[in-house]
Amino acid sequence: MAGRYKAGTSGASDGGFGPHGSTGTCGACGSDGSFSVSGIPNLPGMPQMAGKVGSYEIFTVSEITRRVARALDRDPVLGDIWVNGEIANFTHHSSGHIYFTLKDDSSRLRAVMFRGSNIGLRFRPADGMRVYAHGYVGVYERGGEYQLYVDLMEPAGLGELYLAFQQLRAKLEAEGLFDPAAKRPLPKFPRRLGVITSPTGAAVRDIITVTRRRWPGIDILVIPALVQGSDAPASIVQAFDRAGQVRDIDVIIVGRGGGSAEELWAFNDEEVARAIRRSRVPVVSAVGHETDFTIADFAADVRAPTPSAAAELVVPDASAYAHHVELLEARLVRTVRMRVMQRRQYVDELSRRLIQAIQTKLRTNKDRLEYLGRMLDALDPEAVLGRGYAICRGQDGTVLRRADQVAGGDEVTVQLGCGELGCTIHDVKVG
């Protein structure tokens, strides 16, 4: 490939520069300042390509951009950095990404925060707002521009607090204070509830109201504590110490109603977190609103989005249980009725079978009696006499079976089927 430059400094009329940073012609070039690479002659309008000019290497724009990107990647500071600046040129793209510029009095820095990162923002960025932005500095190679890739952002007024929060969270998490395996389950039917909060705040009223409505028989012990200000952390720790001296507390709710980050900061205290973990009974943290997260939330056994929600978590709903009992009662009645019906059907079936067996036995015995009756009738002497036979009896009434049992002149009685005959024996024939 051929290229062309004029000997001299970068201030030459065509913007070129000499290969050695000097004026005049180069020995590697022609007298007119033209040169060729790899023997390819200079061609007007030919695009630039990587190669060498004498001892100098030629880079493409992409190569230069990649080198800058790699250099930025190797910088440990630029890879994990917080930047303080004022937002300008803010754009919320339809894709969900946000694009803006961070500026100060003398410089500007392009920035981008992708949808996956900005979806969790707890404030609405706008032009003119001063913020703390965390991320890394990298190169957008297509545009050849360096920019800040933001993953966290907070209003500048809260930046210091947010950094302190993140540092304490990382420290306690490394100690295992937030280990999910150490979380204790809430009692199913608590008898006494401990509430650590301000006795005059809305939170305690909400907790008592919801708890009494759901589980009227529970005993509620309010342990007063400051929940705002510099003295609040120590007051909360002392309240936990007092709660530990009450033997019959089954569960504790600690928290307060909503407020600014500064007002909720007492629940981001290390000693408060440790007091929560020292509690001998499960602890429910209920600080602020649903979008508020504190160190106490991570240390507690259960996190509730609001104080009212905490009350719903720690006690069952009596009406729901009553309805459940009614359903169980109805199910029991149906089961008993079904069992009785089944047993009744079984008894009816046994009765039917018994009656059938008795009837069958009676018919069998009746048939046998009739048979025996017929047999008796057949064997009855009177029945024989009725068929024309007779019974001859001697003078002593014995039945005569042989002729030699009588002699001539003996008196005998002949019994017929109807009546008797008195006879005298005139002749006896034996044989």
**What pLDDT sits at residue 159?**
59
| Higher-scoring residue by pLDDT: 398, 54 | 398
Where does a domain end: 262, 297, 316?
316
Q: Is residue 4's pLDDT more than 60?
A: no
Band (12; pLDDT cuts 50, 70, 90): very low
Structure tokens of 183? 């979380």
**What pLDDT sits at residue 45?**
47
Where does a domain end: 20, 39, 58?
58
Per residue in 147-193, pLDDT (tens digit) is: 999 999 988 865 567 778 888 999 999 999 999 999 999 999 999 99
Q: Is residue 114's pLDDT more than 50?
A: yes
Residues 203 and 80 in one domain: no
Q: What is the CATH number of the domain that holds 308?
A: 3.40.50.10550
Band (357; pLDDT cuts 50, 70, 90): very high
Residues 373 and 392 in one domain: no
Residues 32 and 126 in one domain: no
Residues 133 and 240 in one domain: no
Number of domain units in the chain:
5
The answer to whether the CB of 296 falls within 8 A of the CB of 267 is yes
Residues 96 and 191 in one domain: no
If you average pLDDT over residues 8-17, what whole number do you get? 36
Proportion of the chain above pLDDT 70, given as a percent: 86
Coil, strand or helix: which one is 130?
A: strand
Lowest-confidence pick of 10-14, 83-87, 229-233, 280-284: 10-14
**What pLDDT sits at residue 395?**
85
Q: Treating both helix axes as pointing N-terminal to C-terminal, what angle do 307-314 and 202-214 enclose, rounded to 10 degrees?
A: 30
Structure tokens of 341? 């019906």
> What is the C-alpha separation between 337 and 179, in angstroms, rounded?
52
Residue 227 φ then ψ, to 5°: -120, 15
If 0-12 CB within 10 Å is exposed, 13-18 middle and 19+ buried, where does residue 397 land?
exposed
> What is the C-alpha separation between 362 and 369, in angstroms, rounded?
10
Residue 431 domain flag = no
Host domain of residue 328: 319-379
If you average pLDDT over residues 392-400, what whole number do you get? 87
Does pTM top 0.85 for this prediction?
no
Q: Is residue 197's pLDDT more than 70?
A: yes
**What pLDDT sits at residue 237?**
97
Coil, strand or helix: which one is 112?
A: strand
The DSSP result for 221-246, as a single string, is: EEEE---SSTTHHHHHHHHHHHHHT-
Kindly state the greatest CA–CA separation across the chain.
198
Band (125; pLDDT cuts 50, 70, 90): confident
Q: Is residue 204's pLDDT more than 70?
A: yes
Closest alpha carbon to 279 in 183, 180, 172: 183
Band (216; pLDDT cuts 50, 70, 90): very high
Residues 88 and 2 in one domain: no
Question: Containing H/E element for 145?
Answer: strand 145-155
Residue 175 domain flag = no
**What pLDDT sits at residue 164?**
80
What type of residue sits at position 374?
Answer: R
Apex CA 149: angle with CA 147 and CA 154, to 5°?
A: 115
The answer to whether the CB of 161 falls within 8 A of the CB of 265 is yes
Residues 189 and 302 in one domain: yes
Where does a domain end: 12, 40, 58?
58
Average pLDDT of the chain, as a whole number = 84
Residues 99 and 218 in one domain: no
Q: At a CB cut-off of 8 Å and minimum separation 6, what does 87 contact?
A: 100, 101, 102, 125, 126, 127, 128, 129, 130, 131
What type of residue sits at position 80?
Answer: D
Per residue in 245-264, pLDDT (tens digit) is: 998 999 999 999 988 778 89
| Higher-scoring residue by pLDDT: 397, 89 | 89
DSSP state for residue 414 in the 8-state scheme: E
Tell me the CA distances in angstroms from 234 to 8, 193, 202, 269, 278, one per residue in order.
Answer: 74, 22, 21, 9, 15
| Higher-scoring residue by pLDDT: 210, 3 | 210
Residue 332 domain flag = yes
Residue 400 domain flag = yes
Residue 303 domain flag = yes
> What is the C-alpha separation between 114 and 140, in angstroms, rounded?
14
Residues 375 and 396 in one domain: no
Lowest-confidence pick of 26-30, 188-192, 372-376: 26-30
Residues 302 and 210 in one domain: yes
The answer to whether the CB of 153 falls within 8 A of the CB of 121 is yes
Residue 147 domain flag = yes
Residues 98 and 201 in one domain: no
Lowest-confidence pick of 2-6, 103-107, 147-151, 276-280: 2-6
Residue 87 domain flag = yes
**What pLDDT sits at residue 21?**
38
Q: Is residue 47's pLDDT more than 50?
A: no
Closest alpha carbon to 429 in 403, 409, 411: 403
The answer to whether the CB of 196 falls within 8 A of the CB of 236 is yes
Residues 415 and 400 in one domain: yes
Residue 97 domain flag = yes
**What pLDDT sits at residue 158?**
59
Q: Is residue 198's pLDDT more than 90?
A: yes
Q: What is the CATH number of the domain that holds 152?
A: 2.40.50.140
